Every structure is written in C-alpha cells, then in structure tokens.
Amino acid sequence: MQNGEVGLARYLRRYLPASEKAWFDQWLRIHNHPEKLVKRVKLKGPDRLRKIILTHGIKRLARKNVTTAIRAWNRLQKDNKFPDRLQKQAERAIAMRMLRSRHKDKLKFLDTIQPHATDTQLHEKRLRAALSRQEWKLIEKWTQQLPKHLKSSDEWRYWRARALGELGQIKQAETELQKIIGERSFYGFLAADLLQVEYDLNNQPLQVDSSTMQQLEKNQGLLRSREMYLLNRNTSGRREWRAATRKMNQKQQQGAAILAHKWGLHDRAIIVLADARSWDDLKLRFPLEHRQRVDKRAKEKNLESAWVFAVIRQESAFVKDAHSPAGALGLMQLMPSTARSTARQLKLGVRKKSRILQPDINIRLGTAYLRVVLNELEQNRVLATAAYNAGPGRVRSWLPAKPIPADLWIATVPFDETRGYLKKVLAYTVIYEQRLGQKPARISDSMPPVQRRLRKTASIKRAKQKQVQQKRAKQKQVQKDDYSIWDI
C-alpha cells in the first residue's frame, strides 16, 4: 500500500487471517476516499497501524485538495500523537502540493513545518518559494534551518547575505559575503561584485613528477585510446580511456589529464580531472579547442567568444560527437530540427546528422541560433542563455509580472536543469574571458533586471508581422484582380 501497489495488496488480502482483513479494508476505504478524514474516522486496529493509515490518507488527500488536507491534518493532530517520521511524511506531502499551488497561505504553512535534515528538495523548494515573493525575513530564517551541507554552500550563503542586506543588517551581510568571495562560482562572483573586490580565479597549474608522466606515456590503455581517436573510433577511444584511468590514484589521473591535453583529447582531460576531484588547473579544465572557428563565427554574429566557449563547455565538454538522450547533437548540442531550421536561414545543407556533428558546421549553426535567441530576447544574455537550454517560449512564460533583479529570477527558474545551466554558463564566461587574455567583466554587468515587457515586445512584433503579411496578401490580390481584368 505504501508503495502504491494497491492491486497486489488486494490480492494478498486473501492470505491474511480473518482478524486482520478488517484493518486492510479500512485502509483501502481511506485510500479510495481520503476526504472522509475531514470528519472523525474511527479505525480499529493497532495504534501504530492506525496512524500509518491516517498518514496515508492525508498524503492521498493532499493530491486531490491541499486545502482540505490541511484542515483534516490539523484535526487529526489534535486527536493523535503521530511519530516524527509519519508527521514529516504528512507535512511533506502537503508542503509539496502547496508549493505547486498559488495558495495565498503557502508561505505561512511552510513556516509551520521543519523539513527533515535529509530532505534537501523540500528545504530548497521552500526557500525558492520565499525568494519568488521576496520574503526576506523568511529567507533569513529558513537559511538558518538548512542542513549543514546546504547552509555552507555558496548559493545559500549568498541568499542569506542578500536577505540580511535587505533587512538592513549590512555588517552581517558583508560577513557572509566574505565567506564566498574567493570561490570560483556564480555566487562567488556575485558576492565579489557586491563587495566591489576583484575576482580570484585561483588558477593552479598541475605539477606531476616526470617519472609518473613517463609511465603514463607508456600506458597501453592510454595509447590504445589515443589510436582509437586518431582513427575516429571515438566511442572505443572513450571506453579504453575509462578502463585505463578508473583505477588510477589521484596523481596518476592528474598526469593522464595533462597527457590528454597534450594529445588534443580535451574532453578526456576534463572528465578525468572531475574523477580526480581536481578543479584548479583552468588551462586543462577550460580548453580553447576550435578557437579559430569560435572566434570567426562569434565575430560574424557579433557575439563574445567567451560566451560561446562557455556554452560549448557546458553543453558537451568538447565531445564533438556528443549525443544527448533528448537527441541534441555535437559541440553546441543542437536539436536536429533547430539545426535544420537555422541551416535554411544560412542556406546550408544539413540533411544528414553527420553534417550537424562536424565541428565547423555545428559551431556555425550554434552561434547563429544564439544570435536568434539573443535578438528575440532584447539582447539580454541571461534570458538568451536560458532560452538556448529551455527554448524561447518557456523563457517568456517565466517572465515576472514586475521587473526583478536577475539573480532573483535565475534562482526561481522552475527547471532545475536550466537554473544550473544558467549559473554555470555565466560563471564559465568569466573564466573564458581570462583564458582568452581579457580582463573578466563583472558578471552582474551582464545581468540587467528581468522585465515582463519582453512579452509585449514579442506580441507587438508578431502583430506587426501579421499586418505586413496582410498588406502583402492584399497587394497580391489587387495585382491578381488587375491582371484578370486586363486578360478579359
């Protein structure tokens, strides 16, 4: 019953002793009609089992009507002392439904519960709901209630600092920001912007002794992997590399990354460094492969090369034949339909998927599509980056009723994937600016407030396009009528 296998539970009922069938029948009635919990329900059976059935009913009722579930839960708590485990289960079920609703008392209810320390999802969703309404007192309070691993994260330290600042506690806010300004991350960069200090990218090139490097250069698995790549048998090359490196110690993995970079296997260097949990050699982790192609296509579309590199790094980690589960292809992970529609505008033939996978064509199409979404979203890089991942239509649907700071908008993007994608691409852009020999620009300079007027602009644009189409159609009809008269 607890795992939703109701049909199996009904079947197993026949094997219960007669004395135990009655409580199962009660459980099934509550399962089918949880609204009965609003009234006083007398259940026979052991106290522990009775509370399990009641909790099950509340979870079912929350799916149907969250307001009724709250009323029923409040009444049940007056009559019963629920164990902490069951109480948290019921409260979580109600809270998750509340979070999906527009209930006016959503935050009020969420403030009455204390999520379990291991329930990362509920802790974070509750905070994002408070962020969406800019309830700074609740944000400050709830960040204090986070489990240790979340409380010490860059993201929630940043939002605690923002909440303290909004509440006028400037010194405390600065203290929190000081804890993350040295981090090479999206929130570390934002914290540095707020305190007006320079970014510390903490680039530390790896040092591996020559004897280890000599051994690795003779490693048969690594040599086989390299030969496979040279023969364009990339899948086999990746398998050989994985088999050769997975049992290496950290120092050997670091050496393998240096070797991969030397051989031009940049995607293998990135992945083996992640396995080694070695994050500080930026030359290896953020390669400049295909630089001439990227610079050329970025210049053609008036885009920043650092931004294009950041998209490639996040999309494929430089795996040129990357295939996503959704079907996206190549370095810039283009869906075939998007690639073909963009190719038609460029008068470029890409009927075969193998053409989309070619680095030069993929980068040309990817930069062209970046320019399209950037134009559609009024040159706003934050929105264009989100649109590259989730689509322009979804991004427009996420625009707020009133202008809000971009950091708040990013933190409340509904899709976890897009939210993480945004933070990484924006942070990687800063890193790639340095890798390209530029002074990194302030990340907040590319994050103007997010405004709803984009919807109006888009609708006006569509209306104007429709007017032009109607005018042209009318002119064609007039021409057709004139010719008909002339022929007569």
pLDDT digits (tens, 9 = 90+) for 209-262: 999 999 999 999 999 999 999 999 999 999 999 999 999 999 999 999 999 999
Task: Report how far residue 245's alpha carbon sits from residue 273's, in angstroms, rounded to the nearest whole number.
Answer: 11
Task: Report how far residue 91's alpha carbon sits from residue 116's, in angstroms, rounded to the nearest whole number.
Answer: 10
Task: Report how far residue 223's alpha carbon sits from residue 245's, in angstroms, rounded to the nearest whole number.
Answer: 12
What pLDDT does 474 receive?
Answer: 52
Task: Report how far residue 474's alpha carbon sits from residue 482's, in angstroms, rounded to the nearest whole number.
Answer: 12
What pLDDT does 47 receive?
Answer: 80
pTM for the structure as a whole: 0.88
Helix (H), strand (E) at residue 167:
none
Task: Report how far residue 69's alpha carbon sits from residue 37's, in angstroms, rounded to the nearest whole number.
Answer: 8
Cite the active site residues.
Answer: 315
Residue ranges covered by each domain of the chain: 6-113, 210-279, 291-451
- Cβ atoms within 10 A of the Cβ of 13, count? 14
CATH topology agreement for domains 210-279 and 291-451: no
CATH of 291-451, one of 1.10.530.10, 3.30.499.10, 3.90.1150.10, 2.60.200.20: 1.10.530.10
Mean pLDDT per 10-residue run, the chain (488 residues)?
93 92 91 87 78 94 94 90 93 95 91 93 97 97 96 97 97 96 96 95 95 96 97 96 95 97 97 96 97 97 98 97 94 94 90 92 96 95 97 94 94 96 98 96 95 56 58 49 30
**Cα distances (angstroms) measured from residue 425 to each of 95, 156, 274, 341, 382:** 32, 19, 17, 24, 9
What is the CB-side half-sphere exposure of residue 467 using CA atoms within 13 A?
Answer: 6
What pLDDT does 38 receive?
Answer: 84
Sign of the Cα torsion 395, 398, 403, 409 reads: negative
CATH of 210-279, one of 2.60.40, 1.10.1240, 1.20.1530, 1.10.490: 1.10.1240
